[in-house]
Amino acid sequence: MSNAFALSVKQPWAALLVAGVKLVEVRTWATRRRGRVLIHAGLVPDDRPQAWEQVTTPELEEAARQRGGIVGEAELVGCRTYDSADAFAADAGRHLNDPGWFAPPRLHGFEFRAARPLPFRRLPGFTMFFRVPDSTAESPGTAVPGL
């Protein structure tokens, strides 16, 4: 896992992403990054009821309680642009967000596949992609901003 990149995602979205229920993570910024990305569960959860309504099993409930560390990984295979509320609403089955959450002028959807959980590893997060120290090290170290 040397110099892997991670993306911090609020719970329960991180758990839903790692479980393969959520396929697209929505951001206000685009990325050209592709490949394996570690999924970091942020310390602060999303408090919107619509987010938690997606947590429908005891396994997802347990996974969504993990905060402040790496919870899984997925392949980032694309980045789509939502230029309109209609485009955002049309993809709601993949990003799971309420269509009313669209914020002009555009949003971006990071498309993931082959997601899987990993053993929880406590680690500080960051608002963009960030580098994660090698997991074989004695200490988890400190995350630093990525590209």
The per-residue pLDDT for range 81-140, each reduced to its tens digit, is 999 999 999 999 999 999 999 999 999 999 999 999 999 999 999 989 999 987 533 344
Cβ burial 46-65 (10 Å sphere, 16+ → b, else e): beeeebbebbeeeebeebbe
The superfamily in CATH containing domain 4-139 is: Hypothetical protein. (2.30.130.30)
Q: Where are the domains of the chain?
A: 4-139
User: What share of the chain has pLDDT > 90, as a percent?
Assistant: 86
Residues 6 or more apart in contact with residue 139 via CB below 8 angstroms: none
Q: What share of the chain is helix, strand, coil (3-state, %, to 5)?
A: 20, 35, 45
